[in-house]
DNA sequence: CTATGTGCAAATCCTTTGCAATCCA
DNA sequence: TGGATTGCAAAGGATTTGCACATAG
């Protein structure tokens, strides 16, 4: 956490933003809930547990700030609200993909990246300079598939 | 168009829904604007040109209906509104991907599918039964890249 | 005739914004 | 002190819903 804090602090400072106590609270919640895909409101509720005087607007503003610095990324699983992921690019971790069960809504993370070849082609054919990608795979998870088989 | 209409009509009839005139108008707009990624409101405006008495709610309801039957799919490019695509699965056309320019917002379609290998792995490792996928690649398009180079 | 489909307006949900107060370098 | 940050409440925008009327089979 200390390391993360330092890293974020430095990033922000490059454009004269501060890692204020409120922002740090948001950061902490994000860091402690990696892989959970929290929504803004869920983050807000978690932050409130420790800083009850935080406002939802501040959380939104902080999330936007972190997004601008690529500290977090947002994904939309189609349920009408954005969800936030921490640290994909911060520590050189791989891109990862999401399996979304269309029955129960479960989300499984896949930590493999097999898109290099595709990206290569895209780059050459379209002269498109890739900075990021997002792959969502929809279908049925093992449990839901089994349930269906029984009926 | 006639063929499409028949196909949709049949699909709907399997669960006792009708392809009413209003719904047909929506379908027509969708079919005539393939690859345009229209939002609900854009569709509404186009439908109104021919049927000025439609309501926005009907368009939304129709889109939801079509979604349930996999006649259309929705994508979110991160601008806060859903966009709708017609006929991906209807006529066995390939999946396609989207390149999204983070500078000018342009969207380029890529009609190649190189995800078979990845899907194979996902299927085996996670016992996940894939029905669809959605790949968004973010970056800079040729023009925006060139502009940047000049500055 | 009865269930389904529809328009309108109101309601809802998530997110953003205006503004006055607060904080911090 | 002065600009950045914040909380609150209000505004905003996309989508959904309630309800009375219209329509199709």
Average pLDDT, chain A: 88
Give the whole-number percent of chain A exceeding pLDDT 70. 93
Show Cβ contacts of residue A116 under 8 Å, excluding neighbours closer than 6 positions: none
Query: What is residue B141's predicted lDDT score, i.e. its pLDDT?
Result: 92
For the four alpha carbons of B90, B92, B93 and B97, in that order, the dihedral sign comes to positive
Among the candidates B70, B92, B114, a domain finishes at B92
Q: How far is Cα B75 from Cα B38, in angstroms, rounded to an integer?
A: 10
Q: What is the mean pLDDT of residues B12-31?
A: 95
Q: What is the mean pLDDT of residues A35-63?
A: 95
Scanning every residue of chain A, which has its alpha carbon at the shortest distance from the alpha carbon of B128?
A: A141
Q: Are residues A87 and A131 in the same domain?
A: no
Q: Are residues B72 and B122 in the same domain?
A: no
Hey, is the C-beta of A115 within 8 angstroms of any chain B C-beta? yes
Q: In terms of DSSP bridges, do strands B38-39 and A72-76 run parallel, antiparallel, or are they unpaired?
A: unpaired
Q: Tell which residue, A29, A15, A37, has the closest CA to residue A88.
A: A37
Query: What is residue B111's predicted lDDT score, i.e. its pLDDT?
Result: 77
Q: Are residues A14 and A83 in the same domain?
A: yes
Token look-up 């409120």 returns: A22
Range of the domain at B106: 93-151
Q: What is the pTM of this model?
A: 0.86
Q: Are residues B26 and B67 in the same domain?
A: yes
Show Cβ contacts of residue B111 under 8 Å, excluding neighbours closer than 6 positions: B94, B96
- Find the CATH number of the domain harbouring A135: 3.30.1490.190
Q: In terms of DSSP bridges, do strands A107-110 and A97-101 run parallel, antiparallel, or are they unpaired?
A: antiparallel
Q: What is the DSSP letter of B95?
A: P
Residue B90 has pLDDT above 50, yes or no: no
Question: Within window 69-108 on A, which residues have Cβ closer than 7 Å to strand C?
Answer: 80-82
pLDDT in tens, B110-151: 877 677 888 888 899 999 998 888 888 888 999 999 988 876
- Find the CATH number of the domain harbouring B16: 1.10.10.10
Hey, is the C-beta of B138 within 8 angstroms of any chain A C-beta? yes
pLDDT in tens, A97-117: 899 888 888 888 887 767 788
CB-facing half-sphere around the CA of B58: CA atoms within 13 A: 18
């Amino acid at each position: 956490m200390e390391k993360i804090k330092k890293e974020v602090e430095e990033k922000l400072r490059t454009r004269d933003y501060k890692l204020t106590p409120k922002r740090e609270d948001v950061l902490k919640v994000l860091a402690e809930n990696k892989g959970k895909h929290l929504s803004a409101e869920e983050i807000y509720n978690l932050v409130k547990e420790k800083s009850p005087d935080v406002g939802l607007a501040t959380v939104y503003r902080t999330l936007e700030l972190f997004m601008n610095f690529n500290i977090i990324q947002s994904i939309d699983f189609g349920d009408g609200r954005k969800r936030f992921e921490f640290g994909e690019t911060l520590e050189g971790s791989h891109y990862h993909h999401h399996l979304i069960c269309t029955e129960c809504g479960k989300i499984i993370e896949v930590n493999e990246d097999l898109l290099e070849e595709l990206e290569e082609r895209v780059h050459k054919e379209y002269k498109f300079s890739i900075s990021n990608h997002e792959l969502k795979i929809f279908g049925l998870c093992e449990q839901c598939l089994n349930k269906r088989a029984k009926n």
